């Protein structure tokens, strides 16, 4: 039978109790209170189970308030009303009516939802437990995050942070793994505009800008190395809704003169309409072997290398005065002794001095992460190596500097032993040897063109779904597109079948009454790739120079995954000791006197790469050159009655018709999304010049009134032929346009 033992029941106020509303109190033999019921006229308001303080209370609104930790192996039934405090060890369900909730700190459960803890990244790392499955809302990132075996991971972004909206150039996006900031960059390898169309509500409306000028041309006849382009870097530069013109400096060229330095590279600029112009100066040219010194062509962003009489000055450190948060980079070239000339200065280091029979190495460039992020830094503005009379070559500086050219090289600037400055890096051209004959070996390398990169912070990386890295990544028509305007690496993270367009560099137009340059070879198709890295080579355009008796250069090869597009053939010179236009991906046009056009599709491949150049014309009144061949049609033949236009390029497959992928280099009017157009032939009479072919072909020169045009960068277009054999400017053929490699796969 059950036993009820009562030691004391009190039903009235006890003088020892502070409460006059006490109704029931149960104590043990020691006088400790075990159960106490306090009440008033409104009813029972407090139930306390403890020796000192209440473990929980029930107030008049039927809210249960726990004090401390409640531990239970199981809890059956329903808890209604509001429950506050800490709950642990509960093995069954809790039902909360629509009017109630369970609140633990800043966490809660009610019938409308569940609230997880709120903290920031610093608070998470310092004070949040790391039990598997822990959930938090991170106010720093705006993400719901969970803790798993790999640490804290993002489950879902709950806030969309938006950066400014802008257009122009090549668009790339990446995450800086340090602070976790996401950036969008606009990469300009050709002149264009950076246009801000809306500002950000979440991030500073500022940009970081990096710019490098064109590299200087190398010196001729045991000449010194050309300098790398000057560099500026500015952070937190304020912008507004406006259009900001951007110009890209071309690389300087080497002259065939023993007494004239290579030409300076062109300046690269970012223009603020406020107005303010930020300038990266072109690199100084390398001094020629017989230059008397103090040649202003050797001065530039970095100084061109010198011979025994001097070297160029570095002028970039004095540029852009008064601009906040801006740093300039530029250094002197090395000195020479005659048989071994100085290396060109680089953005990151001084060019090395030459010694007897040994040319100095070019100064190193400076790295920057604005284009592709910390995982893929790019080095810019390396100086060219100095020329020498003994066998061997001096190294170019890191950042696109060209190595020097040693003795006994072939007559073409596409020789493996010859190297100009790398395209879109501002690298300086290497100096030449002195082989005693007026051929291409006397001339140094051309400088590489410059670049401008603009970046700013955004909230969401749209390229996060890419299945590969490399190049500038964009999205178009449910495809992910990787565009390479300079050489790099394509790394697939899984096996893919990719589409590609590969365009080689275009050939230079002939000097004098010259033929148009042939377009770079054009390849397109699809190929399987595995989860590995593939080198991507983007060929440069062939360089031109004013001496019509010296061969201009053909374009350079582009390649990806063992698929090669051949460089475009050079146009024939007016007085060149050659049979006519050179063969190539597409052939160069013939000149007035060397009329034969070059063949295309060299070496033969399937599918075809290009077309032949047109023949030149040696009959009055329109003496002149033939048009360079294009990817889909031959260059026109010159005739007495009219100019010879360049052959048309190929219309890009639908996948590759994204303006971001073509990077603002669509070629002449009505030729957007075409690649590899041939250059127009030059002609004797002034007036309307011969048009370049669709796909970036340069126009031909016309008499002494119209200068030949260069092929458009990143199009593989051929340069136009020179328009006269007299005037020093109008007779020069146009340079070939650089190539491009574009790779795409389903997003």
Give pLDDT tens digits for 657-696: 654 444 433 333 334 578 999 999 999 888 889 989 988 8
Average pLDDT over residues 188-211: 92
DSSP state of 591: -
Domain-embedded: residue 333: yes
Whether the Cβ atoms of residue 677 and residue 649 lie closer than 8 Å to each other: yes
Assess whether pLDDT exceeds 70 at residue 353.
Answer: yes
Contacts of 464 (CB under 8 A, 6+ apart): none
Please, which pLDDT band fits residue 465 given cuts at 50, 70 and 90?
A: low
CA gap 174, 165 in Å, rounded: 16
Residues 599 and 676 in one domain: yes
Cα separation, 417 vs 395, in Å, equals 11
- Of 433, 449, 465, at which residue does a domain stop? 465
For residues 143-168, give the mean pLDDT. 77
**Residue 323, pLDDT score:** 96
CA distance 303 to 226: 8
Residue 489 and residue 447 in one domain: no
Domain boundary among 423, 445, 465: 465
Q: Collapsing DSSP states into helix, strand and coil, what is residue 207?
A: strand
CA 431 to CA 102: how far, in whole Å? 79
What is the rounded distance in angstroms from the CA atom of residue 509 to the CA atom of residue 581?
A: 9
Q: What is the pLDDT of residues 28-54, one digit of tens each?
A: 777 776 666 555 444 444 444 444 555
Whether 472 contacts 482, CB under 8 Å? yes
| CA dihedral over 514, 424, 247, 663, signed as positive or negative | positive
Query: In the prediction, which pLDDT does 13 show?
Result: 52
> pLDDT tens for residues 231-280?
999 999 999 999 999 999 989 988 877 888 999 999 999 999 888 999 99
Question: Do 375 and 340 touch, CB atoms closer than 8 A?
Answer: no
* One-character DSSP codes across 675-733: E-PPPPPPBSSSSSPPPPPTTTPPPPPBTTTBPPPPPPTTTTPPPPPPB-SSSTTTTSP
CA dihedral 114, 117, 120, 122 (to 10 degrees): -150
Predicted pLDDT at 91:
44
Say whether pLDDT at 623 is over 70.
yes
Cis preceding linkage at 621, omega within 30: yes
Half-sphere exposure of 484 (CA within 13 A, CB side): 28
Residue-wise pLDDT for 419-459, tens only, equals 678 778 899 999 987 754 444 447 788 898 899 999 999 98
Q: Which residue has the tokens 């209604």?
A: 80
Per-residue pLDDT at 685: 87
| Residue 660 placed within a domain | yes
Q: State both tokens at 560.
A: 């990806």
Whether 525 and 450 map to the same domain: the answer is no
- Would you say residue 343 has pLDDT above 60? yes
3-state SS, residue 527: strand
> Which three-class secondary structure state does DSSP give residue 296?
helix
Q: What percent of the chain has pLDDT over 90?
A: 43
Report how many helices (DSSP H) and strands (DSSP E) the chain contains, helices first.
2, 38
Please give the average per-residue pLDDT across 551-561, as a whole number. Answer: 91
Residues 432 and 545 in one domain: no
Looking at the fold, whether 593 and 733 belong to one and the same domain comes out as yes
Q: How does the average pLDDT of the chain come out, rounded?
A: 81
Predicted pLDDT at 419: 67
Model confidence over 630-660: pLDDT tens digits?
999 999 999 887 789 999 998 888 777 654 4
**pLDDT recorded at residue 89:** 47
Question: Does one domain contain both 218 and 266?
Answer: yes
If one compares 718 and 408, the residue with the highest pLDDT of the two is 718
**Interatomic CA distance for residues 378 and 381, integer angstroms:** 10
- Structural domain including 609 reads 471-747
Cβ atoms < 10 Å from Cβ of 406: 22
In 698-711, which positions are buried (b, 16+ CB within 10 angstroms) versus exposed (e)?
bbbbbbeebbbbbb
Q: 547 and 416: one domain?
A: no
Residue 319 lies in a domain: yes
E strand or H helix at 659? helix 659-662
Q: What is the predicted pLDDT for the residue at 668?
A: 36
pLDDT digits (tens, 9 = 90+) for 522-534: 999 999 999 999 9
Q: Are residues 537 and 518 in the same domain?
A: yes
Tell me if 367 is assigned to some domain.
yes
Q: What angle do CA 621, 627, 632 make, to 5 degrees?
A: 145
Output the pLDDT for position 14. Answer: 52
Contact of 490 with 502, CB cutoff 8 Å: no
Does residue 50 fall inside a structural domain? no
Q: Tell me: do 365 and 248 sit in the same domain.
A: yes
Q: Is residue 100 one of the residues assigned to a domain?
A: no
- Report the domain count for the chain: 2
Which two structure tokens, joined as six digits, stand for 593?
A: 């006197």
What percent of the chain has a predicted confidence (pLDDT) above 70? Answer: 76
Average pLDDT score over residue span 352-362: 91
pLDDT (0 to 100) of residue 562: 92
Q: Can you tell me the distance from the alpha carbon of 195 to that of 186, in angstroms, rounded to the nearest whole number?
A: 10
Contacts of 350 (CB under 8 A, 6+ apart): 331, 332, 333, 334, 363
Instruction: Judge if 207 and 279 occupy the same domain.
Output: yes
Residue 153 CB neighbour total at 10 angstroms: 11
Taking the C-alpha atoms of residue 389 and residue 140, their distance in angstroms, rounded to an integer, is: 62
β-pair type (83-88, 101-104): parallel
Question: How far apart (Å, rounded) are the C-alpha atoms in residues 614 and 585?
Answer: 14
- My answer on whether 522 and 385 are in the same domain is no
The answer to whether residue 631 sits within a structural domain is yes
Determine contact, residues 447/226, Cβ cutoff 8 Å. yes
- Please enumerate in sequence order all residues whose Cβ is within 8 A of that of 606, keeping only pairs 6 or more positions apart, or say none: none
Mean pLDDT lowest for which of 61-70, 438-447, 474-483, 574-583?
Answer: 61-70
Mean pLDDT of the 182-198 span: 89
CA–CA separation, 82 vs 478, rounded Å?
51
Q: Quickly state the pLDDT bin for 97 (edges 50, 70, 90).
A: low
Say how far apart CA 534 and CA 286 lie, in whole Å.
Answer: 35
Under a CB-based contact definition with an 8 Å cutoff, are residues 166 and 195 in contact? yes
Bridge pairing between strands 117-119 and 135-138:
parallel
Same domain, 217 and 302: yes
Among candidate residues 436, 465, 494, the one where a domain is terminated: 465
pLDDT, residue 704, reads 85
Q: Which residues fall within 8 angstroms of residue 544, CB to CB, at 6 or more apart?
A: 253, 508, 509, 511, 552, 553, 708, 710, 719, 732, 733, 734, 735
The strand pairing partners of 535, in sequence order, are 489
Beta-bridge partner residues of 70: 87
Cα distance between residue 422 and residue 383, in whole Å: 11
């Amino acid at each position: 039978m059950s036993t009820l033992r009562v030691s004391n029941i009190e039903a009235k106020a006890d003088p020892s109790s502070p409460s006059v509303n006490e109704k029931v109190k149960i104590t043990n033999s020691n006088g400790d209170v075990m159960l106490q019921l306090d009440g008033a006229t409104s009813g029972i308001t407090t139930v306390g189970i403890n020796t000192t303080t209440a473990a929980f209370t029930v107030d008049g609104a039927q809210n249960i308030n726990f004090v401390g930790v409640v531990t239970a192996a199981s809890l059956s039934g329903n808890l209604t009303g509001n429950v506050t405090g800490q709950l642990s060890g509960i093995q069954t369900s809790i039902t909360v009516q629509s009017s109630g909730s369970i609140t633990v700190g800043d966490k809660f459960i009610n019938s409308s939802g569940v609230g997880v803890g709120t903290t920031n990244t610093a608070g998470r790392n310092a004070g949040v437990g790391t039990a598997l499955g822990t959930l938090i809302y991170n106010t720093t990132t705006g993400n719901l995050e969970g803790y798993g075996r790999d640490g804290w991971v993002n489950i879902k972004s709950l806030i969309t942070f938006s950066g400014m909206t802008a257009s122009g150039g090549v668009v790339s996006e990446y995450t800086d793994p340090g602070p976790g900031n996401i950036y969008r960059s606009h990469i300009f390898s050709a002149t264009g505009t950076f246009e801000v169309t809306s500002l950000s509500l979440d991030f500073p409306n500022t940009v970081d800008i990096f710019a490098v000028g064109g590299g200087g041309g190398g010196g001729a006849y045991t000449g010194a190395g050309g300098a790398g382009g000057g560099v500026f870097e500015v952070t937190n530069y304020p912008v507004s809704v406006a259009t900001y013109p951007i110009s890209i400096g071309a690389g300087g060229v080497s002259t065939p003169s023993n007494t004239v330095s290579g030409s300076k590279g062109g300046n690269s600029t970012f223009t603020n309409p406020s107005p303010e112009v930020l300038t990266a100066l072109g690199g100084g040219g390398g001094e020629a072997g017989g230059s008397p010194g103090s040649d202003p062509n050797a001065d530039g962003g970095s100084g061109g290398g010198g011979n025994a009489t001097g070297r160029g000055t570095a002028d970039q450190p004095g540029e852009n005065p008064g601009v906040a948060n801006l740093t300039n980079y530029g250094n002197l070239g090395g000195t020479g002794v005659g048989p071994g000339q100085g290396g060109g200065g680089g953005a990151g280091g001084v060019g090395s001095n030459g010694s007897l029979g040994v040319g100095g190495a070019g100064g190193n460039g400076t790295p920057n992460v604005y284009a592709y992020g910390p995982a893929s830094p790019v080095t810019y503005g390396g100086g060219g190596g100095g020329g020498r009379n003994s066998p061997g070559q001096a190294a170019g500086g890191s950042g696109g500097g060209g190595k020097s050219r040693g003795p006994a090289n072939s007559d073409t600037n596409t020789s493996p032993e010859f190297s100009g400055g790398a395209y879109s890096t501002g690298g300086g051209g290497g100096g030449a040897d002195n082989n005693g004959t007026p051929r291409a070996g006397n001339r140094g390398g051309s400088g590489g063109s410059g670049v401008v990169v603009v970046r700013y912070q955004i909230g969401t990386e749209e390229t996060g779904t890419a299945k590969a890295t490399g190049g500038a990544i964009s999205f178009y028509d449910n495809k992910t597109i990787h565009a390479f305007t300079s050489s790099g690496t394509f790394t697939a993270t899984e096996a893919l079948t990719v589409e590609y367009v590969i365009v080689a560099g275009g050939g230079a137009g002939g000097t004098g009454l010259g033929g148009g340059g042939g377009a770079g070879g054009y390849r397109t198709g699809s190929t399987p790739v595995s989860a590995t890295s593939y080198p991507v080579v983007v060929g440069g355009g062939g360089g031109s120079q004013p001496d019509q008796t010296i061969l201009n250069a053909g374009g350079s090869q582009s390649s990806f995954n063992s698929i090669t597009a051949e460089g475009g053939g050079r146009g024939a010179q007016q007085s060149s000791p050659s049979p006519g236009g050179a063969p190539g991906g597409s052939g160069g046009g013939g000149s007035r006197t060397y009329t034969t056009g070059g063949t295309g599709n060299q070496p033969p491949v399937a599918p075809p790469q290009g077309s032949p150049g047109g023949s030149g014309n040696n009959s009055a009144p329109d003496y002149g050159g033939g048009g360079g061949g294009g990817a889909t049609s031959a260059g026109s033949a010159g005739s007495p009655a009219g100019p010879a236009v360049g052959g048309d390029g190929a219309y890009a497959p639908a996948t590759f018709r994204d303006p971001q992928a073509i990077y603002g280099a669509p070629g002449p009017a009505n030729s957007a999304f075409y690649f590899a157009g041939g250059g127009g032939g030059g002609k004797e009479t002034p007036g309307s010049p011969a048009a370049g072919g669709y796909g970036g072909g340069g126009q031909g020169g016309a008499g002494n009134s119209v200068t030949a045009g260069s092929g458009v960068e990143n199009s593989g277009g051929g340069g136009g032929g020179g328009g006269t054999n007299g005037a020093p400017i109008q007779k020069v053929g146009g340079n070939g346009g650089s190539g491009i490699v574009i790779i795409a796969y389903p997003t």
